[in-house]
A = this chain, B = another copy of it.
Amino acid sequence: MKLSTKGRYGLMAMYQLAQDYGQGPISLKYVAEKQGLSENYLEQLFSNLKKEGLLTSTRGAYGGYMLSRIPGEITVGQILRSLEGNMSPSDCVADDGFDCAKDESCASKWVFAKIKDSIDRVIDSITLEDMVNDNQSVIDRRM
Is the C-beta of A121 less than 8 angstroms from some C-beta in chain B?
Answer: yes
Is the C-beta of A15 less than 8 angstroms from some C-beta in chain B?
Answer: yes
| B11 close to A7 (CB less than 8 A) | no
Is the C-beta of A61 less than 8 angstroms from some C-beta in chain B?
Answer: no
- Whole-angstrom distance between the alpha carbons of A80 and B76 in the complex? 25
| A8 close to B90 (CB less than 8 A) | yes
| A136 close to B119 (CB less than 8 A) | no
Contacting chain B: which of A22-30, A48-56, A104-112? A104-112
Question: Do A107 and B122 form a contact, CB below 8 Å, given A1-B7, A2-B89?
Answer: no
Q: Contact residues of A with B, CB < 8 Å?
A: 1-4, 7-8, 11-12, 15, 36, 76, 80, 84, 87-91, 102, 106-108, 110-112, 114-115, 118-119, 121-123, 126, 131-132, 134, 136, 139
With A107-B132, A115-B122 already in contact, 17 other A-B pairs whose C-beta atoms are closer than 8 Å: A1-B3, A1-B80, A1-B84, A1-B89, A2-B88, A3-B89, A7-B89, A8-B90, A12-B106, A15-B107, A15-B108, A76-B111, A110-B136, A111-B126, A111-B131, A114-B126, A118-B122
